[in-house]
Amino acid sequence: MAPMHNPPHPGETLRDDVLPALGLSVTEAAEQLGVSRATFSRVLNGRSAVSPEMALRLEAWLGVERGGRAEMWLQQQVAYDLWRVRHEKKKLNVHPLAA
């Protein structure tokens, strides 16, 4: 299993929680989402971000009543992306505005 992040990549939630709860394989879920297995696998393994299009696919697939709101998936992605950038070793070359 991939190392946990704080917060986790939304693909980890899909892989570790959603797919097992639904009893679906990656291939079955990808087919239901209308994407290739490779595309969905990249998201599940944190190698691709949940895009707005994928978030809408997840919403249509899971349904809003089951926690599938597109905004929620995008919020998880943004939280993960910000956490990752904040914890990278490189320094941002920013010059703050003068007071």
Indicate the domain borders of the chain: 10-77
Model pLDDT, residue 36: 98
Q: Going by C-beta distance under 8 Å and a sequence separation of 6 or more, which residues neighbour residue 44?
A: 11, 12, 14, 15, 19, 26
Model pLDDT, residue 53: 98
Sign of dihedral through CA atoms 90, 83, 48, 11?
A: positive
Model pLDDT, residue 21: 95
How many C-beta atoms surround the C-beta of residue 57 within 10 A? 20
The pLDDT tens digits of the residues spanning 66-83 come to 878 999 999 999 999 999
The pLDDT tens digits of the residues spanning 82-92 come to 999 888 877 77
The lowest-confidence range among 39-43, 70-74, 95-99 is 95-99
CA-only gyration radius of the chain, Å: 16
Q: Please give the average per-residue pLDDT across 12-34, as a whole number.
A: 97
Assign a CATH topology to domain 10-77. Answer: 434 Repressor (Amino-terminal Domain) (1.10.260)
- Reading the block at residue 45, the tokens are 């393994």
